[in-house]
Structure 1
């Protein structure tokens, strides 16, 4: 495809990041049990609603009809295996236990001297919140883990997440500078067995105070600001919320140009990844792919020696694997395009555009 098609858009692109919503929510005001609701959503849309963060929760609540006081099913159901999750919804890419720690019932995490220790969630500790403008915030009040989570979400963003060794060292220094007592500090890591219907890795939870963690399914409670409770999935019948994916993994093996044409004819475009948040959303869906890498809307210009998004945006946020994404790509015998790995750390790689891969389209 001629490069000249992309350059007029490229010349006017700015490094601004717009918020992208991964899903469209649809409220279905018909009473069904959880399994019937799941079957309906999978037939009509994508699945029962998944929620990644508070922004998603706000959008979901906007979809629920005003005046609905009844409980409303979402796509969260109790499973059998305990897993570690971050309160913020970040993927768990890094762990730093004092010794090997397996996830178990009612377990949360404190940090002490840079190491992580399992702790009962109903114990009390001081804690660290994350704030978009202020960064890390040390809260010198002792609370149990769930109260600390609520405090952070009401006053900042969430309990802090730690994604790598560098962030762990920065957090350790931050705590040492402010926590003169040397006591253990809550971070946002917790374990549970809950699983989303669409098999999403989202670890976001919004439980109300009356949450009992029974072996049931989750429903939002409109009379409690949409907070969640757990209810019997077989005997209760409630209305429900479905979601329709904004990102679609297409399990066809096409060249990059063929994938671009397919997305523009059947959806909107190949996906652009302009923020860490969007990268997390891509990481959530790319696991559905059948190829080792998946095409993105990322293209290299041999004439200009730059990478750009076909949507007309410059590459501001980057997540390249080492040795990939350089300006001096080998353009012979074919142009290079960008793909995301479907395994490992899901970083971006440069591939010849003639390679046959799955790809991600966007619907927004």
Structure 2
């Protein structure tokens, strides 16, 4: 009994360890236009700064020593759908004929999605790590609802598949007797990160962006708590570069060979211990030339469990169906963990002799 209690407490402790930021930000105290800043960052580091969440923004702002700096967001002519939380858009459930207008925010009504003006006011659904879904019966426009969720919970809700959509529909029906539409975290815009990242995190000043085509590059303003504004790309500002702590190696090696390569040339094979880290992996794994990419995940047969190379237990899990359990013949095959480079980029179990690309970490 005591041993069982100790094991449970140990698991809770290990799974509570926070993870470090996966980008290193560098403030460059030279004034350049946006294109010149982009070229400098690509030559010296990885690219102009990308941010995935408020934690990234906090780290970026700590590095800044000027009132206004360029980051890597620029307007394009493509209008794409994103989730406010940064989750990839893998599933859409539009009502018949939707989206029929040029509006940019989505509500759920009767289990289906409808596009509408972001300035409309509706109830909304937040997501909270401990409580799950949270119904907020306050009328707000989409951006105010987003700010409320980020300040009080995590973010507006994302919907990744049909099962989650059905669960959300039932949750709303149980709490929304009026049957009115409610905001979800889906929005679209024309902005794209310099590094082609899928990050949908936005941190605009109130009432922005205006989306004027002659002001199509983004800067961070320190005196507005690091909020973003639109500027002429030709304006001379200082800027922030980032150095990615993850790198895809486009060589086809066995898991043991990949491990040796990372430890000799970088630090180690990557561990994926949170949703945030999985998003970073999803951004870099698209550069791979193999259908799956090695992670630092191995099966510890004698304990009937998977572990990261650091020795950490697998707390956050993103296994594809049918993967993640310990096979009966794992000692013979020495199975290791990989992430799929396509589809929804879930993890799979493979014999370590398979030859794949792999992800090293630089931190």
TM-score normalised per structure 2: 0.90
Decide whether aligned partners of structure 1 residues 294 and 116 sit closer, same or farther in structure 2, where only a CA change above 3 A counts: same
Query: 1:137 aligned to 2:134?
Result: yes
Query: 1:185 aligned to 2:182?
Result: yes
What displacement does 1:151 show?
2.4
Q: What residue in structure 1 maps to residue 106 of structure 2? A: 109
| CA distance, structure 2, for counterparts of residue 193 and residue 336 of structure 1 | 43
Query: 1:201 aligned to 2:194?
Result: no
Q: What residue in structure 2 maps to residue 351 of structure 1? A: 350
**Larger CA deviation: 207-216 vs 37-46:** 207-216
What displacement does 1:334 show?
4.0
| CA distance, structure 1, for counterparts of residue 186 and residue 315 of structure 2 | 29
Decide whether aligned partners of structure 1 residues 141 and 15 sit closer, same or farther in structure 2, where only a CA change above 3 A counts: closer
Q: Is the 8 A contact 2:14 2:312 kept in 1?
A: yes
Q: Is the 8 A contact 1:84 1:103 kept in 2?
A: no
- Which segments of 5 or more consecutive residues in structure 2 lack a partner in the other structure? 1-10
Q: Is the 8 A contact 1:269 1:311 kept in 2?
A: no
Q: What residue in structure 1 maps to residue 31 of structure 2? A: 31
Q: Is the 8 A contact 1:272 1:309 kept in 2?
A: yes
Residue correspondences, number: 350
Query: 1:330 aligned to 2:339?
Result: no
Q: What residue in structure 2 maps to residue 48 of structure 1? A: 48
Q: What residue in structure 2 maps to residue 275 of structure 1? A: 274
Q: What residue in structure 2 maps to residue 211 of structure 1? A: 209
| CA distance, structure 1, for counterparts of residue 41 and residue 223 of structure 2 | 24
| CA distance, structure 1, for counterparts of residue 101 and residue 228 of structure 2 | 21
What displacement does 1:273 show?
1.4
- Structural RMSD (CA): 2.2
SS of the residue aligned with 2:324?
coil
- For residues 16-64 of structure 1, what are the alpha-carbon distances to aligned partners after superposition, in whole Å with 9 as ceiling and x for unaligned? 4422311011111111000000000011110000000111111111111
SS of the residue aligned with 1:340?
strand
Query: 1:73 aligned to 2:93?
Result: no
Q: Is the 8 A contact 1:247 1:360 kept in 2?
A: yes
Q: Is the 8 A contact 1:267 1:361 kept in 2?
A: yes
